[in-house]
């Protein structure tokens, strides 16, 4: 019985670790792809003195329809987001220049984001 509990605990630890690694890799990929779009938007702003309209950016979606997507929210602000399922997004807000999960951020996502922000 004791051996079974130890094996189960090890399995759970491995499963949680695998989920964390996959989540970190996916988040890093989204921030990289989104960062390229942000650079394009900032270059457009520097050249034209305004943010592009939603229809002026082409090629901002990948072949799976998950993003990155661009949305101009006002004359000076915009959002970049990725669809992560039925009703959740990973979103960049140009106001505070931060990425976050929307509409909520789960405890594990918060933990992963904190781990990624640790400076070694």
Number of folded domains in the chain?
Answer: 1
Looking at the predicted structure, is the pLDDT value of residue 62 above 60? no
Residue 66, domain extent: 2-116
The mean-pLDDT minimum among 20-29, 59-68, 93-102 falls in 59-68
pTM above 0.95, yes or no: no
Looking at the predicted structure, is the pLDDT value of residue 88 above 90? no
Instruction: Give Cβ neighbours of residue 95 (< 8 Å, ≥ 6 apart).
Output: 77
- E strand residue ranges, the chain: 69-72, 78-83, 89-93, 98-102
* Average pLDDT value for residue range 4-10: 91
Confidence label for 10 from pLDDT (cuts 50, 70 and 90): very high
Q: Residue 90 is encoded by which pair of tokens?
A: 């990973």
Looking at the predicted structure, is the pLDDT value of residue 104 above 70? no
Looking at the predicted structure, is the pLDDT value of residue 64 above 70? no
């Amino acid at each position: 019985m004791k051996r079974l509990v130890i094996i189960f605990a090890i399995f759970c630890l491995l499963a949680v670790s695998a989920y964390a690694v996959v989540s970190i890799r996916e988040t890093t990929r989204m921030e990289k792809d989104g960062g390229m779009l942000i650079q394009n938007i900032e270059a457009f702003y520097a050249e034209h003195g305004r943010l592009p309209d939603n229809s002026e950016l082409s090629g901002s979606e990948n072949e799976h329809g998950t993003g990155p997507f661009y949305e101009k929210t006002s004359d000076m602000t915009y959002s970049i987001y990725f669809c992560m399922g039925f009703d959740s997004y990973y979103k960049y807000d140009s106001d505070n220049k931060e990425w976050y999960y929307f509409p909520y951020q789960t405890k594990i996502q918060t933990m992963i984001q904190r781990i990624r922000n640790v400076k070694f």
